[in-house]
């Protein structure tokens, strides 16, 4: 069909051009016609020449109209125009027009950013000039996308989808060329593993490699090929080494990449972890590095505890291991995990939950001045008893540890039961019910709830023989006049015992704590437990009769 007629590219007709570009936005056919006309008449370079004239003459009105025109052309979302606008000849003119937004009091600095600040930094030298040019063009396209994209509420779904596709296809081309280069990725791994690599250079390499992996793993047809390549290059031993380094940025990027691998190829990571478990000469296996990062370096900038917990849960989940191992092999792996690794995970919990230390420390800190609290704090750190002052960072670490241990209670029933009873772990955990941080007290209670939820006779005997309901009942009494999440969780625990009719625990609670719970008789749950207890006692008496 006939192409659209364009106004002559002159200063006095900029208003007409702006109106034309704006008017076609709602018509798909007119957008197509306008895009073809702009391409065929080589119109964009002519507009950019007018931009130079307006800028030299400080023609503010013309510059504002050119901003609307260039942004409107970008909003046409046509690949044939992107090739022109993102070329070396046009790119600075395009971003120059975008500096003169009428809504801004002062022009932007896009050209200065692209020419002086945003320079292509080659962490590994790129030999192909066409590839280097493609990388530069893609980075500019991403920058323009960032500065022209309106607020999400201002545009419909799929807006600028062609620009998204243009950037994605360019990235695919770049990654394909990098993977074709047989020397590129091996050189990246060699420099990452080389102790002589400078810290800043290693950070740049990790930033690049993280972005490389993040994008490759979103491409299903490229993912398997990349995973095979990375496995051959020793990705997991390299990440293990990088996670043990001092640099926070390097460790953070290594954790992110490991998270991608766990998500997209869990079998590969689990197989590596299981092989390491059988190699006793490896002192710091990957699984230990993950635990250490979680309990020693809690830092919001570095991956985050949740990400590390997800990784660790995936690595020790027997159900996920079934894809690569038999039941016997999984059982043997768990034997090794509970023999060698779990003590690293529980170390902060066992160090910080000595009941007598907690009570003495709390009393001392209450009496001393702020200055002496400061001294006590460092004394406690040296003794690995940070919980003496109940600081927030320690509470977060312990909460993460308890979440993982609760996971183990459900997934490793046999091994975890032996470990809890041998270490008297539940008693140590319930010390945290006294914490001023309610989220930590909730985690401790949730750990006990998971154990009771199994309705295991050995666990129940362990709880009753150790009188482990005492701290729970004390928490009920402390919160009886409050309305909070901890009180609700406490009530739910007792309601579960009542509903499931766990007679062994019901008898223990009523016989040992009925007097203490008299003050909360308005809570029907405790009355229900007493009724259940009496009914069971009557049944037993009838049997004896």
Q: How many CB atoms lie within 10 A of CB 53?
A: 11
DSSP letter (8 states) at residue 108: -
Q: 416 falls in which pLDDT band (50, 70, 90)?
A: very high
> What does the pLDDT average to over 438-442?
93
- Asked which of 1-15, 169-183, 360-374 is least confident by mean pLDDT, the reply is 360-374
| pLDDT tens digits for range 202-220 | 898 998 899 888 888 888 8
Sign of the CA dihedral with 196 first, then 200, 201, and 202 last: positive
- For residue 358, what are the contacts with CB-CB under 8 A and spacing of at least 6? 387, 388, 431, 434
Confidence at residue 450, expressed as pLDDT on a 0 to 100 scale? 96
Query: Using CA atoms, how far apart are residues 342 and 295, in angstroms rounded to an integer?
Result: 12
CB 516 within 8 A of CB 477: yes
DSSP letter (8 states) at residue 284: S
Q: How many CB atoms lie within 10 A of CB 178?
A: 18
| pLDDT tens digits for range 427-437 | 999 999 988 89
Query: Using CA atoms, how far apart are residues 368 and 186, in angstroms rounded to an integer?
Result: 59
CB 86 within 8 A of CB 141: yes
Query: Using CA atoms, how far apart are residues 348 and 291, in angstroms rounded to an integer?
Result: 11
| pLDDT tens digits for range 68-83 | 999 999 988 898 999 8
Flag whether pLDDT at 523 surpasses 50.
Answer: yes
Confidence at residue 410, expressed as pLDDT on a 0 to 100 scale? 94
DSSP state string for 120-186: ---SS----HHHHHHHHHHHHHHHHHHHH---GGGS-TTTTHHHHHHHHHHHHHHHHHHHH-TTHHH
Q: Is 150 left (phi over 0), alpha (psi -120 to 50) or beta?
A: beta
Q: 245 falls in which pLDDT band (50, 70, 90)?
A: confident
Q: How many CB atoms lie within 10 A of CB 109?
A: 12
> What does the pLDDT average to over 166-181?
86
Q: What percent of the chain has pLDDT over 70?
A: 87
Average pLDDT, the chain: 84
| pLDDT tens digits for range 442-488 | 999 999 999 999 999 999 999 999 999 999 999 999 888 777 899 89
Helix axes 470-478, 503-513, angle to 10 degrees: 60
DSSP-derived 3-state class of residue 11: helix
Q: 55 falls in which pLDDT band (50, 70, 90)?
A: very high
Q: 520 falls in which pLDDT band (50, 70, 90)?
A: confident
> What does the pLDDT average to over 84-95?
90
> What is the 3-class SS of 184-218, one letter each residue?
HHHHHHHHHHCCCCCHHHHHHHHHHHHHHHHHHCC
Confidence at residue 149, expressed as pLDDT on a 0 to 100 scale? 66
Query: Using CA atoms, how far apart are residues 145 and 512, in angstroms rounded to an integer?
Result: 68
């Amino acid at each position: 069909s006939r192409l659209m007629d364009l106004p002559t590219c002159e200063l006095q007709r900029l208003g007409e051009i702006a109106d034309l570009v704006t008017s076609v936005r709602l018509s798909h056919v007119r957008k197509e016609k306008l895009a073809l006309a702009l391409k065929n008449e080589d119109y964009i370079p002519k507009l950019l020449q007018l931009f130079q004239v307006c800028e030299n003459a400080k023609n503010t009105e013309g510059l504002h109209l050119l901003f609307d025109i260039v942004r409107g052309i970008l909003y046409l979302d046509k690949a044939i125009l992107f090739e022109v606008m993102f070329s070396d000849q046009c790119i600075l003119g395009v971003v120059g027009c975008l500096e003169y937004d009428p809504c801004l009091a002062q022009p932007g600095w896009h050209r200065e950013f692209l020419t002086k600040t945003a320079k292509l930094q080659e962490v590994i030298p790129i030999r192909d000039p066409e590839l280097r040019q493609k990388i530069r063009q893609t980075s500019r396209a991403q920058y323009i996308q960032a500065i022209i994209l309106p607020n999400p509420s201002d545009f419909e779904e799929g807006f600028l989808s062609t620009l998204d596709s243009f950037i994605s296809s360019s990235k695919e081309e770049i990654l394909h060329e990098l993977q074709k280069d047989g020397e590129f990725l091996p050189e990246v791994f060699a420099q990452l593993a080389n102790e002589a690599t400078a810290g800043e250079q290693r950070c740049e390499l990790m930033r690049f490699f993280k972005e490389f992996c993040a994008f490759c793993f979103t491409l299903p047809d490229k993912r398997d090929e990349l995973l095979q390549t990375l496995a051959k290059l020793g990705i997991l031993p390299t990440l293990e080494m990088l996670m043990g380094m001092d640099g926070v940025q390097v460790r953070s990027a290594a954790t992110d990449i490991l998270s991608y691998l766990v998500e997209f190829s869990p079998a590969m990571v689990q197989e590596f972890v299981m092989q390491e478990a059988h190699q006793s000469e490896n002192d710091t296996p990957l699984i230990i590095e993950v635990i250490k990062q979680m309990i020693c370096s809690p830092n919001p900038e570095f991956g985050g505890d949740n990400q590390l917990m997800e990784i660790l849960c995936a690595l020790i989940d027997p159900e996920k291991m079934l894809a690569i191992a038999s039941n016997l092999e999984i059982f043997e792996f768990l034997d090794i995990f509970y023999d060698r690794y779990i003590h690293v995970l529980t170390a902060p919990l066992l160090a910080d939950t000595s009941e007598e230390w907690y009570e003495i420390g709390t009393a001392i800190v209450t009496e001393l001045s702020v200055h002496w609290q400061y001294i006590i704090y460092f004394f406690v750190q040296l003794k690995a008893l940070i919980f003496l002052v109940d600081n927030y960072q320690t509470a977060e670490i312990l909460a993460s540890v308890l979440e993982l241990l609760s996971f183990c209670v459900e997934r490793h029933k046999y091994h975890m039961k032996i470990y809890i009873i041998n270490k008297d772990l539940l008693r140590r955990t319930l010390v945290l019910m006294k914490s001023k941080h309610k989220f930590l007290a909730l985690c401790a209670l949730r750990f006990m709830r998971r154990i009771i939820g199994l309705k295991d006779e050995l666990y129940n005997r362990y709880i009753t023989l150790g009188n482990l309901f005492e701290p729970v009942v004390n928490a009920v009494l402390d919160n009886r006049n409050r309305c909070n999440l901890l009180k609700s969780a406490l009530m739910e625990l007792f309601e579960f015992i009542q509903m499931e009719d766990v007679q062994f625990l019901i008898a223990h609670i009523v016989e040992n704590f009925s007097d203490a719970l008299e003050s909360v008789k308005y809570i029907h749950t405790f009355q229900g437990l007493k009724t259940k207890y009496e009914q069971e006692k009557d049944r037993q008496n009838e049997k004896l009769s």
